[in-house]
Amino acid sequence: MDLSILNYYAIGFLLRWGHILAGITWIGLLYYFNFVQGEYFKEADGAAKSDAIQKLVPRALWWFRWGAMFTFLTGAGLLWFYKLQGFGIITGATLGTIMFLNVWLIIWPNQKIVIASAEKVAAGGEALANAGAALGKAGLASRTNTLFSIPMLFFMASSKYLPGIQQPISQASTLALIAVFGLIALLTLNGIKGKTGPMTKVSGVIHMGLLLTVVLYLFIELL
């Protein structure tokens, strides 16, 4: 066998494998934070919550943020290696990139403030004045990532199976581009400065994620 062909398939496979492995780590922890830990914190007493914030949350966030980093890097590698240009895959990649930026620029910096505040209180000091606001910012970004994860996974998984979304993005109509990326931009801004709204509840963010998936898919297919 031609070694160049063998190397091509080997590199492609390793990128896919790394992307899946890192993605499972990242999205799995995203769902843990939103569907499990957040609901537990609503019921936990102060001591248990403080202990979890100091000892459990930092460990989970380490795997969470580096899972996001390697998912992004391997995803970018796949886009470059295979020269992927389909409307669906680019939409999914856009959602994934925003999610990655939310992790490193909003969620992690604000969670560091929350952790530092819990440690200060445990040592007998006063809570940091900006801890409450930081928790709110991190929570909103995390809910937004959960919202985006549902259509992101849909477009990543279906790009080879749904003919309409396989079209090169360069051939998409201007209306479709404005509708898809305009909606994503508005929801991204809400994730920075807005409110959780119907995403406050677990059921709400799941339903909104499914609705967003349908809307984005119809925009690509019909516009």
pLDDT of 134-156, one tens digit each?
Answer: 999 999 999 999 999 999 999 98
Is 68 within 8 Å of 100 (Cβ atoms)? yes
DSSP the chain: --HHHHHHHHHHHHHHHHHHHHHHHHHHHHHIIIIIIHHHHHHS-HHHHHHHHHHTHHHHHHHHHHHHHHHHHHHHHHHHHHT--BHHHHHHHHHHHHHHHHIIIIIHHHHHHHHHHHHHHHTT-PPPTTHHHHHHHHHHHHHHHHHHHHHHHHHHHHTTT-GGGGSBGGGS-HHHHHHHHHHHHHHHHHHHHS--GGGGSHHHHHHHHHHHHHHHHHHHHH-
23-44 tens-digit pLDDT: 999 999 999 999 999 999 999 8
Model confidence, pTM? 0.92
Alpha-carbon span 21 to 66, nearest angstrom: 12
Q: Identify the CA nearest to 88 among candidates 146, 152, 149.
A: 152
Listed by start position, the domains of the chain span 3-222
- Read off the pLDDT of residues 42-81 as tens digits, 9 standing for 90 and up: 998 888 888 899 999 999 999 999 999 999 999 999 999 8
Question: What torsion do the CA atoms of 34, 47, 137, 149 make, to the nearest 10 degrees?
Answer: -10
